[in-house]
Chain A
Amino acid sequence: MQFLTLLMRNRLAAAGGIVLSLVVLLALVTPLLPLANPDVTDTANRFLMPGAQGHLLGTDHLGRDLLARLLHGTRLSLAVGFAAAFFAAFFGAAIGIIAGYFGGRTDNLIMRGVDMLMAFPYILLALAIVAALGPGLTNALIAVAAVNIPFFARNIRGVTVGLAHKEFVDAARLAGLGHTRIILTEILPNVIPVIVIAMSTTIGWMILETAGLSFLGLGSQPPQADLGSMLGEARGALITNPHTSIVPGAMILVIVMGINLLGDGVRDALDPRLRSGALTRPMPATRVERKGTIPDQGDGEAVLSLRQLQTQFHVKNRIYKAVGGVDLKVAPGECLGVIGESGSGKSVTALSVMGLVASPPGVITGGAVYFQGEDLVGAPYEHLRSLRGDKVAYIFQDPLATLHPLYKVGDQLIEAIRVHHPVGRSEARARAVALLKQVRIPNAESRIDSYPHEMSGGMRQRVGIAMALANDPEVIIADEPTTALDVTVQAQILSLLDELRRERGLAIVFITHDFGVVAQLCDRVAVMYAGRIVETGPTEAVLNAPAHPYTSRLIACVPELGGGRRRLEAIPGLPPAVDRLEPGCAFAPRCLKASAACREGDIALEGPGMRAVRCIHPEAELEEGVA
């Protein structure tokens, strides 16, 4: 049902569907229509023009009624095309599922055969089959279906291999299901959408192919005619009587176009990635739609200062308030930790600074980002670009995904330098080597020519750090840079970052979910929940005397090494969805201290000096902290 609604929402697909239904309907009722016999020749009335008496579309070179031939031909072409698609899909899918599910030798053997068939330009195979079986519509159908089986088999096999290694298949095995049952109940329901997509996008192609064989005279034999053979017969009179060619040709075009439009719609409606709108390309900079007044810079010492920043995701008619008014600032030489769980908005805050939030669906809707006193929200793209990597640099989470897989790490470093500084290649290369040495990569001179996949995770993240350092930026924003790393490697990377920042007086914004990391690295910390900062202050003050119930309970529920075996302090409930935030404190539904006042109105982030908390029942009295 949801599928049909989605399909109909797509106007082009709906149009294609309507056209196709009309054609199919017409083809179905053709025998009932008062038409002339399509095969009766009348040489006296050959090549009548459309509109002639009794012949709506005129007549062909033998004086046969074109309308009747067109409709009967359409009937035949559709039937053959659909039949070919069905057979190809059925056998191809069966072969693909078996090969993909069982894998190993079965897979190897089957796929070698399939590869062999795909080593032919497909028409050669079709021609060979027709040559052996003799021309004729049934043989053309067999040929077209047969040459398409390998395409289906390979496609379906790929999907099945992915599914066969999914954990739910293992789970089914452990639940006592045998192979047949797993294929039928676990694999097949997940493969069917792929089969439907493949079919809907290839039926048009099959119709073209069978028409093509008929056009060559190898398909339907006279007097019986499908659309292809009508075109083939009309070719001789193309220049003198073009209407006999245009009529069947246009019909093929209409049918195939209708099928393709509908097929694309089916694909879009069935493909979950397209459904969630994920297959959109992020623009070079996040969209800005700033409403309300622009807040002033506030504190003058900060090199980077976020004021009332709001970033939202607009997905269809839902609005996710990922960042709901965040104030942050970081001074030169300072390390600010931003801590929160997934969905708290910490990464979106970080990416908003340089307009790197994927857009669509991201939109910066309010507030300001001051860098050295200048507001960057809504700044021209070229200006933003000139700052990116030069003044404000990023280190991202997963170093394998964030480095370009096909460029050598050296070239990626050199590019980072040369984008902002017009230096020669050899000078840039020397600088790149120096950078790799600074991040303690052994054998920097030879490692510079490695590709990312040739390095370990820790080494790759060092490259990521070197890239961020390339232009001596004022601010480095590190978005969970050690989350993907093993604990021993994490320790190496953290101590490297700590050394570098002390050597260079860098301002660092460090995004993480780990209190241990924050405690070891950061001077100050801001705790985020549901898109807002709930508590901030010097790291030690926040960790030793957390004031917000969320902070204190979050600290309590993380087990700490050395505590031995024990029961953990869990927080009941789940973090709220940021598209349905209730008024008041977002933590109230999970908070033991929540009162009626917590659920109404906006609660301010307040406190003395560097300490502040967004709570009316804080756990502790705030003391003015010293960094």
Chain B
Amino acid sequence: MTGYILKRLLSAVPVLLGITVIVFLIMALIPGDPALAILGAYATPENVAKINRDLGLDAPLVARYFIWLGNMLTGDFGTSFSLNRPVIDEVLDRFSATLLLAGTSFLLCTLLGIAAGVISAAKQYGWADKGITFAVLLGISIPSFFLGMMMILIFAVELRWFPVSGMKMAYGGGGFADVANHLVMPAFALAVVATGVVARLSRSAMLEVLRQDFIRTARAKGVREGRVVWGHALRAAMVGIIPVLGIQAGFVLSGAVYIEMVFQWPGVGRMLVDAILKRDILLVQGGVVFVAACYVLFNIAVDVAQSLLDPRIKT
């Protein structure tokens, strides 16, 4: 198993390099002088000189890539000119907030989605199935940012159950209760779409598995129906569900960008949007590379989970 994990980690190296190449190339699309493009409104002569020195911007494209890569490998993602702060510090601060939000949502969508999908499949064409199918359809059709706004209107403004914003964590204060209280609405709003997708997929994976011959074998042995569904069938269906959970984590992370805007959540998504609007290219670059790298590592964990579940995967 350790060998397998090491192997997977090793195989992530080219993917991570690929990510940096793609990000670098996209940024190289920006027309005009790279120093001016990167600095945008902050193109003071001192800044131009500094950035040309740091990033070797007068060098050819390939050399520039390796300078940039080398800097990142030593933990230097450059300086954000709009915030006047090292990019890596800002990204780390913001990413922890995003991780809290997206992580909670991911857990919610996994648990709720799989449960809903299994129930829906086991009670196919029953009332539970119809209800879940409709809720799922609604969930995947509503824009998460609109849902978030409606939740603010209903639960914060009308019912006053939860605060609109103003979480103290962002300013270094606030206890667990404060965080939890502010987390409920955005986490749910973010989880809705992903839950729908997971539920749909789990339902069809379960329907597929429940028709298999080995389910008939389990029934012919006299295994109780509850165990047939939640044991034999779900176990086999998870082989199809787990890889999608990996992709789904990317969707949750993506959706977090909108939710952070709506709920004023101090996460990395809001940081990126602000950075784009202020044309703080280094902050965008650093943020994208960092988050993508974390996502790659998460997907390795997903692969490892899959290999634990399925003995047919050679480890």
Contact = CB atoms under 8 A, between A and B. Distances in A.
Contact of B141 (A257, A389, A415): A257
A252 B247 CA distance: 24
A390 B122 contact: no
Contact of B143 (A124, A208, A415): A208
Contacts of B310: 405-406
Interface string A101-135: 00000000000110111111111110111111101
B194 to A, nearest CB: 12
B97 interface: no
Interface in A257-304: 257, 260-261, 264, 278-282, 284
A257 B284 contact: no
A451 interface: yes
B210 A404 contact: no
B213 interface: yes
B222 A405 contact: no
Contacts of A129: 26
Given A121-B254, A123-B254, A245-B149, A419 B223 contact: yes
A121 B299 CA distance: 11
A401 B292 contact: no
Contacts of B255: 123
A208 B211 CA distance: 35
A398 B220 contact: no
B273 A218 contact: yes
Interface string B234-270: 0110010000000101110111011001100000010
A252 B157 CA distance: 23
A381 B153 CA distance: 50
Interface string A246-264: 1001001100110011001
Contacts of B138: 257
B19 interface: yes
A597 B214 CA distance: 46
B23 to A, nearest CB: 6
Nearest to A408: B311
A407 B145 CA distance: 43
Interface in B259-299: 261-262, 269, 272-273, 275-277, 279, 281, 284-285, 288, 291-292, 295-296, 299
A420 B222 contact: yes
A81 B213 CA distance: 42
B7 interface: no
B122 A356 contact: no
Interface in B210-242: 210-225, 228, 232, 235-236, 239
Interface string B130-151: 0000000110111101100110
Contact of A404 (B146, B208, B217): B217
Interface residues of B, number: 83
A396 interface: yes
Contacts of A388: 219-222
Contacts of A278: 211
B273 A217 contact: yes
B124 A280 contact: yes
B26 A132 contact: yes
Nearest to A417: B221
A356 B220 contact: yes
A211 to B, nearest CB: 6
Pick the most buried of A124, A129, A282, A401: most chain B CB atoms within 10 A of its CB: A124
A256 B143 CA distance: 9
A510 interface: no
B312 interface: yes
Contacts of B19: 116, 119-120
Contact of A406 (B23, B204, B219, B236): B236
Given A216-B273, A389-B221, A211 B143 contact: yes
A351 to B, nearest CB: 8
Contacts of A217: 273, 277
A354 interface: yes
B216 A406 contact: no
A416 interface: yes
Interface stretch (A231-239, A363-371, A525-533, A564-572): A231-239
Contacts of A121: 249-251, 253-254, 291-292, 295
B88 interface: no
B159 interface: no
A418 B32 CA distance: 74
B304 interface: no
A215 B255 CA distance: 12
A451 B207 contact: no
B309 interface: yes
A467 interface: yes
Contact of B220 (A218, A256, A389): A389
Pick the most buried of B19, B222, B236, B277: most chain A CB atoms within 10 A of its CB: B222
A282 B284 contact: no
Interface residues of A, number: 81
Contacts of A394: 217, 220
A127 B269 CA distance: 10
B299 A119 contact: yes
Contacts, number: 232
Interface string B177-218: 000000000000000000000000000101110111111111
B9 interface: no
A204 interface: yes
B62 interface: no
Pick the most buried of A116, A278, A420: most chain B CB atoms within 10 A of its CB: A116
Given A116-B22, A404-B217, A249 B149 contact: yes
Contact of A124 (B164, B219, B225, B291): B291
Contacts of B211: 278-282, 358
A470 to B, nearest CB: 8
A118 to B, nearest CB: 8
Contacts of B232: 404, 407
A358 B26 CA distance: 54
Contacts of A228: 143
Nearest to B293: A119
Interface in A184-237: 204, 208, 211-212, 215-218, 228, 231, 235
Given A120-B295, A245-B146, A356-B220, A260 B137 contact: yes
Given A119-B18, A406-B236, A415 B216 contact: no
A308 B141 CA distance: 52
B216 A402 contact: yes
B260 to A, nearest CB: 10
B41 interface: no
A432 interface: no
Nearest to B283: A131
Contacts of A215: 143, 145, 258, 261
A405 B217 contact: no
A11 interface: no
A129 B236 CA distance: 39
A282 B295 contact: no
B64 to A, nearest CB: 15
Contacts of A516: none
Given A252-B146, A402-B214, A406-B236, A124 B137 contact: no
A51 to B, nearest CB: 20
A386 B273 CA distance: 62
Nearest to A355: B219
A279 B258 contact: no
A451 B312 contact: yes
B281 to A, nearest CB: 7
B141 A242 contact: no
A340 B313 CA distance: 39
A453 B311 CA distance: 9
A386 B223 CA distance: 9
**4 tightest A-B CB contacts, nearest first:** A123-B254, A249-B146, A121-B250, A389-B222
Given A124-B254, A404-B236, 5 more contacts: A123-B255, A354-B220, A390-B222, A406-B239, A416-B221
15 contacts: A120-B19, A124-B272, A131-B27, A131-B279, A135-B276, A208-B143, A231-B146, A253-B143, A256-B141, A385-B222, A388-B220, A402-B216, A404-B232, A405-B214, A406-B311
